[in-house]
Amino acid sequence: MEDQNKLIHEVTQRDYRFGFVSDIETDTIVKGLNEEVIRIISAKKDEPEFMLEFRLKAYRRWLTMKMPEWAQLKVPVIDYQEIIFYAAPTQQAKYESLNEVDPELLRTFEKLGIPLEEQKMLSGVAVDAVIDSVSVKTTFKETLAERGIIFCSFSEAVKHHPDLIQKYLGMAVPYNDNYFAALNSAVFSDGSFVYIPKGTRCPMELSTYFRINAKNTGQFERTLVIADDDSYVSYLEGCTAPMRDENQLHAAVVEIIALDRAEVKYSTVQNWYPGDKNGLGGIFNFVTKRGICKGVASKIFWNQVETGSAITWKYPSCVLMGDNSVAEFNSVALTNNYQQADTGTKMIHIGKNTKSTIVSKGISAGHSSNSYRGLVRVAPKAENARNYSQCDSLLLGDTCGAHTFPYIEVGNSSSIIEHEATTSKIGEDQIFYCNQRGISTEDAIGMIVNGYAREVINKLPMEFAVEAQKLLQISLEGSVG
C-alpha cells in the first residue's frame, strides 16, 4: 500500500514535458490596459471602424463589470495593468514555403510534435498555427478555397470578409456576456475564422494549434465558426504552452453558428502549462465557448479533453434554437497537483424536439479540485425537449476533490430530462490485476484512466484521440493513490 502510494505519487509528480520557451523575436506593446491601448491594437491590425467600435464598447462595459466569484475556485487577484495585451512575432511576412519561416519557430513546432511539413503532406490536416497572436502559417488553403471554404486567421477575415464578421461577431457570445468575454472582445488579438458555404462538407479536419509564447502576454484568442445550411465541418483546437513562473491569463472566446441542417464538431485538447507540483505558476484559462444551433435540425458537438492550466473556467454551451436541433457535450477534465477546474456546459432548449446529451468525466489527482457545473434549461415553448446527462468522477488518492453541480430548469412539461452521476476511486485491485500481468503501476493507471475516459475519447478525431490518450497518461505521472 505504502509502495503503491509512493509510486502513484511519483507517477503524478513527473514534470511538465512541454515546458520550454522558444526564442522568437516578439513585437510587444507596453503593458497595461486603457482606451489608448485598444486603439493601438486596432490600428496595428489595420481594422475597419466597426471593429474598433466593438472593442471600445466592450472595454467600456468591462470597466463596469466585476470579476465573477466562484464557490469552487480560488483565483488570485489579476493586475490588468501588468499584462501586455498585444504581442506578435516580428516577422510578419506571408511565407510561400516553410523554408522562409523562422527556423526557431519550426523547431518549436517540432518540439510540440507537429512538424508543419508532415501535417501538410501526411495527415491532410490544414493547420492555421497561431503563435502568440498572429497567424504565421496557413496550409491547404487552396484545396479549401476551391470549395469556397474560408479558413483563415481572424485578422484576415476582418480584412477580407468584413460583412461576415459584422453579421456574426458577438451573435453567440455578446460583448457584454460576462467579464472575460467583455475583456476578450475589447483586446482580442487574433484567432481563427471558419466559414463553410451552403451544402458543403469540409473535406478535412481543420486544426489550429494555439500557443502562448511571449513572456507576460495575456492571450485573447477569438474563434468564429459559421456553418451555412447543409454543411459540415470538424474543427480541432489543441494547445501546449511553455513553462514559466508567473501566472498567465488566457481568456478566449469561441463562437459557433450552425444554420439549417448544418453540423459542427468542435474538438479541443487543452494542455496549457498547469503550474508546478506545488501549484506555482500555470495558466489561468477563462474561456467562453458557445454555439448556437440557429437553423432547424442543426447539430453542434463539443468534445474536449482538458488536462492543463492552473485554473480552468469553461462551459462550452449550446443554445438549441432551431426545431429538431441536436447538441452534445463530451468532456474529460483531468486535474492533478494543485490544479483547479470548474467546467461543464449549458444546454438551453428553445426550439421544439430539441435534444442534448452531456457526458462529463472528471479525473482528479493530487491536491486538485475538479467541479462539474451544468445547466439544462428548457424554455416554455420547447415542446418535447430531451436531455440526457451523465457526470462521472474518478478520484485518484484522497487529497483531491470532485464536485458536481447540475442545475435543471424546466419550463415545459413535455420534456424528458435524465441525469446520472457516479463517483469512483481507482481500484487498487484493478492496479494489482494489471501488475500481475506484468504491467507497471504507472502504465496501469494510464490504462485504467483512459478506459474510464474512453467513451469521450472515442468521439475525438483519430489523430486527436491518440494525442489525448498520451496526454491523460503524462498528466497523471506522479498522482494516483
> Where does this chain bind another protein (CB under 8 A)?
1-4, 427-430, 432-441, 443, 447-448, 450-455
Alpha helices in 346-461 (DSSP H): 428-436, 441-457
Residue whose CB is less far from another protein, 366 or 446: 446
Residue whose CB is less far from another protein, 192 or 450: 450
Q: Which of 119, 111, 211, 223 is nearest to 165 (CA)?
A: 223
Distances (CA, A) of 142 to 99, 119, 148: 19, 15, 10
Residue whose CB is less far from another protein, 343 or 450: 450
Residue whose CB is less far from another protein, 276 or 442: 442
Q: Least distance in Å: CB of 474 to another protein?
A: 16
Q: Least distance in Å: CB of 363 to another protein?
A: 12
C-alpha cell at 11: 507517477
Phi first, then psi, for residue 477 (nearest 5°) are -55, 120
Q: Least distance in Å: CB of 376 to another protein?
A: 26
* Contact (Cβ atoms closer than 8 angstroms) between residue 189 and residue 134: yes
Residue whose CB is less far from another protein, 262 or 449: 449
- Give the contacts of 300 (CB within 8 A, at least 6 positions apart): 256, 258, 263, 264, 266, 291, 292, 293, 318, 325, 326, 327, 328
Residue whose CB is less far from another protein, 66 or 437: 437
Q: Least distance in Å: CB of 232 to another protein?
A: 28
Residue whose CB is less far from another protein, 22 or 430: 430
Q: Least distance in Å: CB of 4 to another protein?
A: 6
**Burial of 383: CB neighbours in 10 Å, binned 0-12, 13-18, 19+:** middle
Q: Least distance in Å: CB of 453 to another protein?
A: 7
CA 257-285-28 angle, to 5 degrees, is 95
* Contact (Cβ atoms closer than 8 angstroms) between residue 248 and residue 242: no
Distances (CA, A) of 111 to 116, 241, 291: 12, 11, 33
Q: What angle, rounded to 10 degrees, do the helices at 179-187 and 49-64 form? A: 150
Whose cell is 485573447? That residue is 220
Q: Least distance in Å: CB of 423 to another protein?
A: 15
Q: How far apart are the C-alpha atoms of 165 and 161, rounded to whole Å?
A: 7
Q: How far apart are the C-alpha atoms of 121 and 106, rounded to whole Å?
A: 16
Q: How many CB atoms lie within 10 A of CB 349?
A: 32
C-alpha cell at 80: 490588468
Q: Least distance in Å: CB of 338 to another protein?
A: 27
* Contact (Cβ atoms closer than 8 angstroms) between residue 270 and residue 207: no
DSSP state at residue 77: P
Residue whose CB is less far from another protein, 107 or 454: 454
Q: Least distance in Å: CB of 341 to another protein?
A: 21
Residue whose CB is less far from another protein, 1 or 71: 1
Max CA separation in the chain (angstroms): 67
Residue whose CB is less far from another protein, 455 or 463: 455
Residue whose CB is less far from another protein, 78 or 447: 447
Q: Least distance in Å: CB of 476 to another protein?
A: 15
Q: How far apart are the C-alpha atoms of 417 and 399, rounded to whole Å?
A: 33
C-alpha cell at 439: 504491467
Q: Least distance in Å: CB of 6 to another protein?
A: 11
Q: Which of 133, 87, 137 is nearest to 116 (CA)?
A: 137
Q: Least distance in Å: CB of 443 to another protein?
A: 7
Q: How far apart are the C-alpha atoms of 105 and 25, rounded to whole Å?
A: 10
Residue whose CB is less far from another protein, 3 or 146: 3
Q: How far apart are the C-alpha atoms of 456 and 329, rounded to whole Å?
A: 9
